[in-house]
Amino acid sequence: MGPPTQNMLTFAEQPHSKGAGLRVQNLGGGDLDTATPMGSMVFTVMAALAQMELEIKQERTTDSVAIRRAAGKDLGGGGATPSPTPRCATPSG
């Protein structure tokens, strides 16, 4: 498990250690309650899927940058175009 997945599981464990649980209402037509074994398992699977999505996105970004760099294309990320510097009025004399 990656750090984000472990962070989510730690987050869910905090209320559980105090006798409470997390409850997500109306999650695809049903509720998710981490105080139950099934809810805890579903939460863990969802955290793992989110971790997988993050890693896939990072992999695609890394691959895209390598391909664009090899082709000599712009990598983007230049940021916003700076606005023109305002000129100070000089007193006439």
Look at residue 93 and tell me whether its pLDDT is greater than 60: no
Cα-flanking dihedrals φ and ψ of residue 26, to 5°? 60, 55
- Distance of alpha carbon 93 from alpha carbon 75, whole angstroms: 50
Task: Read off the pLDDT band of 57 (50, 70, 90).
Answer: very high
Work out the average pLDDT over 14-36: 81
Q: What is the pLDDT of residue 58?
A: 93
Report how far Cα 31 is from the mean position of its chain's Cα atoms: 23
Q: How many angstroms separate the CA atoms of 15 and 43, rounded?
A: 14
Q: What confidence tier does 67 reach under pLDDT thresholds 50, 70, 90?
A: very high
pLDDT of residue 80: 61
Q: How confident is the model at residue 23 (pLDDT cuts 50, 70, 90)?
A: confident
> What integer is the mean pLDDT of 35-42?
88
Per-residue pLDDT of 41-55, as tens digits, reads: 988 898 889 889 999
